[in-house]
Structure 1
Amino acid sequence: MDYSNTAVTLFRDLGGVELLVHRLQIEVHRVIDFAGSNDNSMVIGECSKNNGDQLYIQKRLVRVLLKALGSATYATNSTRSQNSYDVSLTPTLLMIFSNKEKFGGEIYSSAVTLMSEMIHKDPTCFNILYDLGLPTAFLSSVVAGVLPSPKAITCIPNGLGAICLNSKGLEAVRDSSALRFIVDIFTDRKYVMAMNEGIVPLANAVEELLRHVSSLRGAGVDLIIEIINKTAWEH
């Protein structure tokens, strides 16, 4: 599907996207429930290993489903409405954003990427997503603290950039001060390991964000100066 618009169109018209969305919803609920049960139970030895393996498999399936939806949720000649997928998929992405610690950086990154692709492929869907609370949930997940994961920190500028394509989204990004996430990841020790792997793609993503969203450049420069001052003070 990555390379064939005809295949994507056929897959959509035969109801494939609805099946993927439904299965994703089931698996996301399973991860949340399973992670919660592990948090509330004392497990040791073989039982603990089996639980860990099962949770890993569940998360891997969620990642595969998110990637498949990224390929399948848009086709130029489809007879089905894109908006129907936006409405049905959004609650599941909301659950991932609001439970990001249970899913980890890779799934969180995949969910942010899917949200960004939905907006880029069909900018007219933003108002629907906004009314359903998806951009707000994403911004809240950023403001609450970014996961110390290379993929989590590098996906955020792209998510912010997609939201900023809409004037309402740009205003929400400004009001939330979500761009301040870069101060935390450059000055908090818990991000050191993630930054070792993610520094180059993060820098490229932030540069692209500020290049395309000119109204954020002033705030971006101020934050970079704040980072320099903080690191200089600590040393």
Structure 2
Amino acid sequence: MPPHAEFGSVVDLIGCVARSPEPRGDCLAFVVAGEELVCFSDGNVREMAFYQRCLIERNSLYAGNILKGAAVTATGRLWQTKNSITHKSRVEVKVSRVLQIERPAADLVQDGGGGYRLRNGYQQVLVSGRAGGAAQRGLIENNTELMSVSLAVPDQVRDAVHWVDVCSYGPLAAHDIGRGQRVIVRGRLWNRAKTLPAGGRHTFTVVEASQVCTSQLYRPGGTAPLLPS
């Protein structure tokens, strides 16, 4: 991973359009779904399904490629929005390009909800930003170490900062990250859900790191960290 990578994010997805797109303001909202092989911190490799929420401008030249069940490759960047029901922040993928691709019909799987996902799919995200606070550590099952940190990631196109939660496990959790430190992460998007006090469910997205690179800790008098005021 290049230590001089620019601030921002890049997301690459290979999957299929799970359901018909829906209008949301000036954008179309859709889901790219697939199955991928994931190597866990205990060394086991398992096939996992992913469903990534995506947005694309309605006037994009690529909008016509978004058809239910179509196998696609999509490229974009992370984009922070708010859930219209819970008003909680969540991270989606703002897609800049989506192309239909040829895949065997056997790779298309219908799920229990009537949607589709693609076997042998792929997802990768590269994020570069500043830590909003010191990394938090803990232990999960089997005494596996967990590290979590929230990154302020500047948008490459608009004057905005998106907050992206990152987690890592095992040896990768050993990184000592302080507030304002520059962090570059390569990994996958992982959707999690938690039950709200009112009884509803809130789905949020984190970046599960497969590679972490840090720069020197920010110190007063140096270059100011890219954190919102």
The bucket for the TM-score relative to the shorter chain is under 0.3
Instruction: Answer 1 or 2: which has greater strand percent.
Output: 2
Q: Which has the higher contact order (CA 8 A, sep 6+)?
A: 2
Instruction: Answer 1 or 2: which has greater helix percent.
Output: 1
Larger radius of gyration, structure 1 or 2?
1
